[in-house]
Amino acid sequence: MRSGRIKLKACYPLVVRASRIAGRGVFAVKDIPWGTKIIRYQGSLIDDEEAKMRVAKGATAIMELGDGFNLDGFDQGNGAALINHNRRRPNCFLLRERGEVWIVAGVEGIPAGDELTYDYGSDYYPRNKGRRVG
């Protein structure tokens, strides 16, 4: 995906551009109110075995759906896979409902120009390597 507006099923206009966090990121073009479903995480539907193979080959955008299914956000995705990780102050969260995964604006909303982020979780980025969590 090249830099530019994401012209898919996003509820608010978004733009992809260089990120200070990592590579490219997704940015709000205008203010997004809290609780708003911004964009559905899309990609090819794959089973757990295929997901493990892709991760072993370097895939970085596999989203677990449960029941043995996953989405690969960089294979037939819509740009949602470019939303970067932020553990300390994410401005979005994931909502899983009816077999879909949505990126939703957090309680403070997202001001125009801000990069969208969410916490990828401890499986993706362990909180304390070598120390027991929780």
What is the predicted pLDDT for the residue at 73?
Answer: 93
Query: Does residue 90 contact residue 121 with C-beta atoms inside 8 Å?
Result: no
What is the predicted pLDDT for the residue at 123?
Answer: 61
The encoded tokens of residue 79 equal 């740009």
Query: Does residue 17 contact residue 4 with C-beta atoms inside 8 Å?
Result: no
Full-prediction pTM beyond 0.85? no
What is the predicted pLDDT for the residue at 54?
Answer: 94
Q: Walk along the chain (134 residues) and give the pLDDT tens digit of each residue.
A: 444 444 445 777 899 999 999 889 999 999 999 999 999 999 999 999 999 999 999 998 999 888 899 999 999 989 999 999 888 899 999 999 888 999 999 999 999 999 999 988 766 544 444 443 33
What is the predicted pLDDT for the residue at 2?
Answer: 43
What is the predicted pLDDT for the residue at 132?
Answer: 37
Domain spans, the chain: 1-38+78-93+106-118
All residues at 6 or more sequence positions from 34 whose CB lies less than 8 Å from its CB, including other chains: 105, 106, 107, 108, 109
